[in-house]
């Protein structure tokens, strides 16, 4: 057996560390030194897996695309409807999908073009699914509400910050979506 290519775990550990640092301390502090230290390897060890920082970023974006594809499928299949699913999942709940997404946002903010392109692609997919449910116009309203949730959670510094308040906000947004659905 074992003909399937097996993912090296050290590589994933490095990627996890990079992701965590982007989320917790921002792009500027996610240096090769810091990533290596957090992943428990030396800088040289890290650079064996990823020849340079760009390669590490690319790997993160691959991870994001893969998880986003799963998310889109879940959204299409959601029993409560795509809009409600979308709003709920816009609450930064620290799922694997949330984590890559936020980490990648930190890169987009620093004007990393490739990251921005990937975002645009994913958001278009979300919008398409929403439009199927509530029409193209209300789909935009729903999308922007979700984006706003993300934006605020990020500005406040993470899933922990003001969690109860934001939970209440999700309730308000779901109510708004109900009204828009009619």
Partner DNA sequence: GTCTATATGACGATAGAC
Partner DNA sequence: GTCTATCGTCATATAGAC
Q: Which does 163 bind (CB under 5 to 8 A by kind): a second copy, DNA, none?
A: none
**Tokens standing for residue 91:** 């609450």
Q: Does residue 8 belong to the site contacting DNA (CB under 7 A)?
A: yes
Q: Report residue 164 CA to chain centroid gap.
A: 21
By residue count, the chain amounts to 182
Q: Which does 98 bind (CB under 5 to 8 A by kind): DNA, a second copy, none?
A: none
| Nearest in space to 67 (alpha carbons), one of 122, 11, 139 | 122
Interacting positions 80-119 with DNA (CB under 7 A)? none
Interacting positions 39-68 with DNA (CB under 7 A)? 41-45, 47-49, 51-54
Residue 40: CB minimum distance to DNA, A = 7
Count, residues near DNA per rule CB under 7 A? 19
Instruction: Give residues with Cβ within 8 angstroms of 26, minimum separation 6.
Output: 106
Q: Indicate the Cα dihedral angle 83, 164, 30, 143, nearest 10°.
A: 20
Q: Which does 160 bind (CB under 5 to 8 A by kind): DNA, a second copy, none?
A: none
Greatest Cα pair distance, the chain, in angstroms, is: 58
Residue 49: CB minimum distance to a second copy, A = 24
Q: Which residues make up the interface to DNA (CB under 7 A)?
A: 8, 10, 29, 31-34, 41-45, 47-49, 51-54
């Amino acid at each position: 057996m074992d003909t399937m290519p097996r993912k090296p775990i050290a590589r994933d550990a490095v990627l996890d560390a990079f992701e965590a640092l982007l989320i917790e301390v921002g792009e500027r502090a996610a240096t090769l030194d810091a990533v290596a230290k957090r992943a428990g390897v030396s800088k040289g060890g890290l650079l064996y897996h990823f020849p340079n920082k760009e390669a590490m970023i690319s790997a993160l974006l691959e991870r994001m695309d893969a998880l986003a594809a799963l998310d889109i499928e879940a959204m299409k299949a959601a029993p409560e409807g795509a809009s409600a699913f979308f709003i709920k999942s816009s609450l930064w709940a620290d799922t694997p999908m949330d984590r890559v997404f936020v980490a990648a946002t930190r890169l987009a903010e620093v004007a990393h073009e490739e990251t921005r392109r990937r975002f645009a692609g994913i958001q278009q997919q979300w919008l398409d699914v929403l439009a199927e449910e509530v029409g193209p116009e209300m789909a935009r309203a729903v999308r922007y509400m979700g984006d706003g949730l993300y934006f605020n959670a990020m500005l406040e510094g993470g899933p922990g910050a003001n969690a109860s308040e934001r939970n209440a906000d999700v309730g308000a947004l779901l109510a708004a979506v109900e009204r828009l659905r009619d």
